[in-house]
Structures are given as C-alpha cells and as structure tokens.
Structure 1
Amino acid sequence: MECLGFTPPTTTTQLNTDFCLQIANHVLLNEISSKVTSNFVISPLSIHVILSLIALGSNGHTLEQLLFFLQSRNVDHLISMSSQMAALASPPNGTHDEDIDAGGPTLSFVNGNEDKTALILANALYFKASWDQSFDISNTKHKDFYLLNGQTVKVPFITNHNYVFHFYGSFDGYNVLKIPYQKGHQDTRQFAMYFFLPNQVNGLENLVNKIKSDSGFFSQQFMLSRVDIPDLWIPRFKFSYEFKAKQTMQELGLELPFDDCKAEIKEMVLDIPDPLYVSEIYHKSYIEVNEEGTEAAASTGAIMMMQQYRSFVANHPFMFMIREETSNIVFFVGAVLNPLSES
C-alpha cells in the first residue's frame, strides 16, 4: 500500500506516532506555501489516541487501514502501544505532590465520549514543566525576528549568562538545541524540548520537506554535544492553533473511516442499526515558552455519525401533501410532473 506522504512501516516493535507527525508536516507545509504567518503546534500523541479509539471500534478493511497507518500489527498490539503511551502520560507510581513542587513535570491525559445526536470521542492533554536550568528574566531583551515574508518584528528573547552548558548539534542545513526539563524525585521519565533552527532565514520549508521525507526524523537519537553557547537567544512565545484534520488525513491516504458508505465502524456502540463513520476530527493545541519553562495543552475530538444507506433523489414525477399532524387533516395534495413548468 502506497499513500501520499507516508511510507509503509518496516517495523512495529516500538512506540511511534509517525503518521500523526506526517500530518503535522503536511499541515505546516500548506501553511508555509500559503504565506500564512501564523504559528503552528499540534499534539501527535493526542491525535494518535483518537485514531486508536476509532480503530478499536472498527473491523474489516477500515480496521486494516487504521492499523496500517498507526503501524500496528493487530488490535492486541495497538492496545499494548496505547497502554504504553498512556503510561508515559501518567504520573509514575510513588510520585507525590512534593515532586511537582520540586520542579517535576505536571502531565495529565484524559479520554471521554458523549452521545447526543452524534457520538463524540475526545481527549485532553496537559503538560507543564520547568527548565532544568531556568533563564534569568533580567537578561531578556527585545531583538529582531525575521519573518518568512521579509518583514522584521521586535520580540523578547530569553538567554543565559556565559558558561551555561547546553546540548547542541550542527547538521546539514540546520542546528539542534535540546533543553531538558526538571525531573521529580521518583520520576524516571525525562522530558526535553528540541529546537530545530535552519541555517537560512527562509530555510524552514526545506527543513520541513527534509523531515517529511524521513518518517523517523523526530524519533532518532540526535548526536548532540554538551557545550557552552555564548550567543544563545530564544524568542519567548505563547500561541494556540486549531484545525480540522479530516482532509489532511484523506490526502495522506487514510480514507475509509471518513467514508459515509464504506466505513466499517460497528463495534463502538451496541445495538445500532447502521455502522458509524467519522464526519470530522478537530484538534486544538496551545503552548507557552518563557524563562521558567513550558506549558502546553491539546485536545482532539472525533465526530461520529451514523451511516445512511437510504437515498431519496426526487428526479422523476412525484406526489406531495401538506397536512396537520395531530388531526391528519390534509391541507394540500398534489403532484410534480415538471418542476420547470408553472402550470
């Protein structure tokens, strides 16, 4: 199976959200090509979990396609992967409030569903953590930031004094900076933020294309050195981003869950007369980076609708009536033989 912008998996032995990262690359390239100057952030984990829930309620070819894109061998393997992801998003056993007070990350993740006129699957992810080495706000200065459209804006940049060591690497066309977050006393997880800076002011599109061609780009072990960077400036930023994911997923080849005639989503709700299909997937994310650390949140919702195989196309002569329903008294009755005729 070959799909636009997505390479079939060669192994499914590790946790990955490659397809969801490809979604991010696809959307970001569209933003860049349209000359939009808005910022961009999504949560691949949040989207992955929603697709996993849809897969668990599917069967037939729809399930096969979802498993392919989620890079899972079967439902059991998908459940195992999802459990591992949930474990990463949950506080470890033995972690107490004092770990958070001491700088350990705050991370929470919840799933839910709601059934009104449609079934809504949703999740919410929240992350907050302090830098392992915080930045002194007294050193923050306004400096130039060069936009892709050639304009320049003044924004606050955070920095450190000299002789503060950071993880840094220089690669073909871009540089990488990794800044770790503080850990809780009994927390074995280690979170870090990576910054990928193109060498050229207008080099972001080339970098995204490079990442798009390498599905394992973000999961690789970057060869970074712990060095002093005398000239280190990172812009302080805070923004949110939201988009509808259905069209992007279809363009990347995931089509069956969204097909209102072919989707085989039958296991999600008991005793329904017709299968479900996904009418839309909504995603919204937020991030703030400042001298103290990072706060980020994301939510993803999938709107599930019942398939309607019935059709009513009035393309030949028909009758009609207008009646009052409580008494069944007919006020008008007639027939249409030619909609264009006025007599």
Structure 2
Amino acid sequence: MTRSAAILGAGIGGLAVAGALSRGGWHVDVFERAPQLPTSGTALAMWPHALTALDAIGAGDRVREVGSAQHRGSFLRPDGSRIGTIDNTSRTTYLLSRPALLGALYEALPNKALAFGTPAPPLDALTDYDVSIGADGLRSPTRRQLFGDGYEPVYTGVTAWRGWIPGCQSDMSETWDKSALFGITPRDGNLVNWFACVRADEGFDGGIDFLRRRFGSWHTEVRAVLEAMTDAAMLHHDLYESPALPSYVSGRTALLGDAAHAMAPNLGRGASEALVDAATLGRLLARSNDIRDALLRYDRARRRPTRRLVHSSRIMSAVAMTRHLRPTRDLAVKLATGLA
C-alpha cells in the first residue's frame, strides 16, 4: 500500500522532501499559499553535504550546471585591507539564486503534485495522511500548532539588505566593521550578489540612501555595488533565529528547515541544512515500516547538529561585527586561515 505525506510549504525544504519521498515510492501532496514559485531572490550557498542531498533527489547535476562554483573567500576591513582568506579548492561550494534552486528542485519532482495558491490545512484536517511535514518557514503555523506560542523566532538585533546587480564576480568577499558588514559574491545569471547587515532596532526602516551613507566610505568594491544597486533588485529583512525546540517531531508530524531551526545567515548554512533535513527525513521514512520510529530517528539525527549551527551563526555574527575586540578578531581569523 502506498504511503502518503502532506507537505506544508513549497520552499527549499518542502520541495526537497517532496522529491525524496516521491523517489521512495510515497504519494505526496504539497500545499503552498503563494500563486507560483518566486521569480526573485538572492544567492544561496550549496555546501558539499547539501550537494550530496541534492544528488539523492536528482537535482545535484542541475545545481552544479546553473550555480557558480566558489573556491575562495576573503575577509576584509573597510579600507580594503585583508584580514584573512579561505581556500575551498578541496570542498567546492556552489552559489545560486533562490529561484534557480527552487526551479531545480521542482524540475526533479517525479510527480508535480503541488497545489499553488492553497494555504496548508490545519493538522487536524490531515489525518488521512501517514505523515505531515511542516516546511512552512520562519513563522511556521505547523510549529505553533505543535508547540504553542512559546517558540516564536527571536530577533537577532541585526537587520539585513540583500540584492543583485549586473556583472561578474569570481570570488566572495565579506567586509567587517563594528556593528556592520558588507558581502559580495558570485551568482547565476551574469549577476553579482550583495548583502549588508547592520545592528539596529527591530523594524528599522532604511533604504538605498541609508546604505550609501553607512557604507559609502568603504573600499572601492563596496562603493561600486552601492552605486549600481536599485530598489527593484533589493530585499530588506530583519534577521531572526529559532529558540531551541524540545523536538523536531510530534506524533506523525515533522518540522524541517526554518520551521525547525531558523538561523542567522553568517555561516551561509540555512538553505543547505534544509536540504539535508529533507534528504535525511525522506531516506528514513522510505526505509522504515515504522513511521514514528523513522521520525524519532530524524529528530535524533538533525536536532543537535542544527542547534549547534544556530548557536555558531549567532557567534559568527557577533565576531564579524564586534564593537570592541577587532584586533583580537583579526588575529584569530589570520591564525585560522594561515596568514599569521
């Protein structure tokens, strides 16, 4: 008898777990309130373990074809002087935009059972399914139904702008200063991806004029991006992280991705971890006749490492934008990257 899953959300984790379960012989229905897949979005890092997960669901080759291979990254000061360099030649990471990644995941679905424009039903309306999977993001209604209002995301104290401009970029750079940082990376489509973070009160309202004032005295590469950026190719979001959940599963329902472990973007791991969640959950469910046992195994496999990453991302944000310990920070980065 074919087993069935209701997947609540067609983001990265939702499409990936739909692909994993479909390839394992499950029937899946994906509920997505948006009318279509997004057509805009900034670059995401696909680390080697995420590429392994993508290979398992048939999307790895497409991601490597479309994405930009990333081998080197530099950490800089606002004047352009170098703090440290990371060489990734032995562990290739790919950068590609959210629309390109979602497109690759959608193309890999054996059965395109995706209900766009359909908000997810409440969990008590999904009892005909063997499993329900909450892949419904930062403000997950599924998480709230399972664990109540005490586990809502917490503001990190940082707001972020992300965007893209025409051009080509071979390597990644991230420039650090007290209470602010600015990053520039490659991405697909002959575009350059950029991101900026500033410590600010929640709800801070600032646009291009603010960014040009805040970062306008920084080095040449940053100033060139500031000059080329436009409102139409920019997103602005406050940054949040998830408090520690008691479990990623409850009964026959599982959470994955940002619904389970939203994290600051400073390690570039959020999208990759959602993919690993999906591949792990899909594999365990496909191999087991005991659904509850498979869900518990998923929780044991994924909760501890992702909680460490939430914590590490918070620390990385603090280190990059430290107000008082920049000489110590710079020495630590030089030691870590072999430049001291």
**Which has the larger helix fraction?**
2
**Which has the larger strand fraction?**
1
TM-score of the two chains, using structure 2 as the length reference = 0.26
Task: Specify the structure having the higher radius of gyration (Cα).
Answer: 1
